Amino acid sequence: MHVPDGFLDAPTSLATGVTAAGAVALSLRGARRELSASPVTGATAGAAGPGAERTAPLAGLAAAFIFAVQMLNFPVAAGTSGHLLGGALAAILVGPFTGVLCVSVVLLLQAIMFADGGLTALGTNITCMAVVTVVVAHLVFRTLLRVLPAGRSTVTASAFVAALVSVPASALFFTLLYAVGGTTDVPIGRVAAAMGGVHVLIGIGEGVITALTVGAVVAVRPDLVHGARGLARPLKLKVNGELVDAPARQAAPAAAPRSSRAVWLTGLAASLVLAGFVSFYASASPDGLEKVAADHGIDKAAEEHAVADGPLADYGVGGVDDERLSAGLAGVIGVGVTAAVGTGVLLVVRRRGTTARSAADGAAVREAAAGRPEA
Amino acid sequence: MGSGHVHRLHLPGHSPVHRLPAHTKLVAVLAFVLVVVSTPREAVWAYPGYALLLAGVARTARVPAGFALRRMAVEVPFVAFALLLPFVAQGARTEVLGVQLSVSGLWGAWNILAKGTLGVGASVLLAATTELRDLLLGLQRLRMPPLLVQIASFMLRYGDVIADELARMRIARESRGFRARGPRAWAVLARTAGALFIRTYERGERVHLAMVSRGYTGTMPVTAGSSATRAQWSAALALPAAALAVCLPAWTL
Assembly ipTM: 0.86
What confidence category does residue B197 fall into, taking pLDDT thresholds of 50, 70 and 90? Answer: very high
Mean pLDDT, residues A232-252 taken together: 67
Q: How far is Cα A142 from Cα B207, in angstroms, rounded to an integer?
A: 30
| pLDDT of A273 | 62
| pLDDT of A35 | 78
Q: Do B111 and A60 touch (CB under 8 A)?
A: no
B114 → chain A, closest CA residue = A6
> Does the pLDDT at position A157 exceed 50?
yes
Percentage of chain B exceeding pLDDT 90: 16
The residues pairing with A9 across neighbouring beta strands, listed in sequence order, are none
- For A222-233, write each residue's pLDDT tens digit: 888 887 776 666
Q: Is residue A115 in a domain? A: yes
> Does the pLDDT at position A48 exceed 50?
no
Q: What type of residue sits at position A367?
A: E
Q: Is residue A257 in a domain? A: no
Q: What type of residue sits at position B174?
A: E
Q: Is residue A187 in a domain? A: yes
Strand positions, DSSP E, chain B = 93-96, 99-102
3-state secondary structure of B65: helix
Mean pLDDT of chain B: 82
> Does the pLDDT at position A40 exceed 60?
no
| pLDDT of A234 | 66
| pLDDT of A43 | 44
> Does the pLDDT at position B88 exceed 50?
yes
The widest CA-to-CA distance across chain B, in whole angstroms, is 73
**Structural domain for A58, as ranges:** 10-233
> Does the pLDDT at position A344 exceed 70?
no
| pLDDT of A197 | 84
Q: Which carries the bigger pLDDT value, residue B127 or residue A274?
A: B127
Mean pLDDT of chain A: 72
| pLDDT of A298 | 47
Cβ-based burial of B128 (10 A; exposed 0-12, middle 13-18, buried ≥19)? buried
Among B119, B123, B155, whose Cβ lies nearest the Cβ of A64?
B155
What CATH number corresponds to the domain at position A54?
Answer: 1.10.1760.20
Mean pLDDT, residues A188-204 taken together: 83
A127-165: string of b/e by CB count within 10 Å (b at 16+)? bbbbbbbbbbbbbbbbbbbbeeeeeeebbbbbbbbbbbb
> Does the pLDDT at position B41 exceed 50?
yes
**Contact (Cβ atoms closer than 8 angstroms) between residue B193 and residue A72:** yes
> Does the pLDDT at position A39 exceed 60?
no
Mean pLDDT, residues A225-248 taken together: 73
| pLDDT of B231 | 85
Q: Is residue A88 in a domain? A: yes
> Does the pLDDT at position A107 exceed 80?
yes
Q: Is residue A132 in a domain? A: yes
Q: How far is Cα B6 from Cα A129, in angstroms, rounded to an integer?
A: 21
Integer angstrom CA distances of residue A172 from A140, A198, A339: 16, 11, 16
Nearest 5°: the CA angle A43, A48, A51 is: 30
Spell out the long-range contacts of A330-334 with Cβ–Cβ below 8 A and sequence spacing 24 or more.
A331/A274, A331/A275, A331/A276, A331/A279, A332/A272, A332/A275, A332/A276, A333/A169, A333/A172, A334/A275
CB count in 10 Å sphere of residue B83: 12
Q: Is residue A245 in a domain? A: no
Q: Is residue A60 in a domain? A: yes
Q: Do B89 and A69 touch (CB under 8 A)?
A: no
Mean pLDDT, residues A190-212 taken together: 86
Among B122, B186, B208, whose Cβ lies nearest the Cβ of A208?
B186
Q: Rounded to 5 degrees, what are φ and ψ at A141?
A: -65, -50
Q: What type of residue sits at position A218?
A: V
| pLDDT of A32 | 82
Q: Which of A12, A27, A65 to mutate to test the interface with B (most CBs of B within 10 A)?
A: A65
**DSSP notation for A2-63:** ---TTSB-HHHHHHHHHHHHHHHHHHHHHHHHHHHS-TTT-----SSSTTHHHHHHHHHHHH
Mean pLDDT, residues A43-52 taken together: 47
> Does the pLDDT at position A97 exceed 70?
yes
If you count them, how many residues does chain B have? 253
| pLDDT of A285 | 41
- For A280-300, write each residue's pLDDT tens digit: 444 444 444 444 455 554 444
Mean pLDDT, residues B162-181 taken together: 90
| pLDDT of A5 | 81
- pTM > 0.90: yes or no: no
Report the gap between the CA of A200 and the closest CA in chain B (Å): 17
> Does the pLDDT at position A315 exceed 60?
no
Mean pLDDT, residues A332-348 taken together: 63
Q: How far is Cα B78 from Cα A174, in angstroms, rounded to an integer?
A: 15
Mean pLDDT, residues A310-321 taken together: 50
> Does the pLDDT at position A194 exceed 60?
yes
Q: How far is Cα B183 from Cα B162, in angstroms, rounded to an integer?
A: 24
3-state secondary structure of B7: coil
3-state secondary structure of B89: coil
CB-based contacts of A171, cutoff 8 Å, min separation 6: A195, A196, A198, A199
Among A73, A77, A183, whose Cβ lies nearest the Cβ of B182?
A77
| pLDDT of B5 | 42
Strongest mean pLDDT among A80-84, B198-202, B247-251: B198-202
Q: Do B193 and A69 touch (CB under 8 A)?
A: yes
Domain count, chain A: 1
> Does the pLDDT at position A110 exceed 80?
yes
Residue from A24, A286, A298, A195 nearest B152 by CA = A24
> Does the pLDDT at position A349 exceed 70?
no
Residue from B84, B132, B134 nearest B105 by CA = B84
Residues of A in contact with B88 (CB under 8 A): 186-187, 190-191
Integer angstrom CA distances of residue B212 from A52, A158, A299, B153: 12, 36, 70, 17
Strongest mean pLDDT among B16-25, B93-102, B219-228: B16-25
3-state secondary structure of A367: helix
Q: Which carries the bigger pLDDT value, residue A123 or residue B246?
A: A123
**Which range has the worst mean pLDDT, A10-24, A91-105, A228-242?**
A228-242
Residues of B in contact with A183 (CB under 8 A): 41, 108, 111-112
What confidence category does residue B194 fall into, taking pLDDT thresholds of 50, 70 and 90? Answer: very high
Domain parsing of chain B, residue ranges: 2-139+227-252, 146-212
Q: Does B119 touch chain A (CB under 8 A)?
A: yes
Percentage of chain B exceeding pLDDT 70: 91
> Does the pLDDT at position B237 exceed 80?
yes
Q: Does B88 touch chain A (CB under 8 A)?
A: yes
What confidence category does residue A251 fall into, taking pLDDT thresholds of 50, 70 and 90? Answer: very low
Mean pLDDT, residues A36-50 taken together: 47
Q: Rounded to 5 degrees, what are φ and ψ at B237?
A: -80, 0
Q: Is residue A353 in a domain? A: no
Nearest 5°: the CA angle A98, A101, A103 is: 110
Report the gap between the CA of A346 and the closest CA in chain B (Å): 24
Expressed in angstroms, the distance from the first to the final Cα of chain B is 39
Residues of A in contact with B182 (CB under 8 A): 75-77
Percentage of chain A exceeding pLDDT 70: 58
> Does the pLDDT at position A268 exceed 80?
no
Among B112, B166, B208, whose Cβ lies nearest the Cβ of A68?
B166
Percentage of chain A exceeding pLDDT 90: 15
Q: Which carries the bigger pLDDT value, residue A297 or residue A240?
A: A240
Residues of B in contact with A167 (CB under 8 A): none
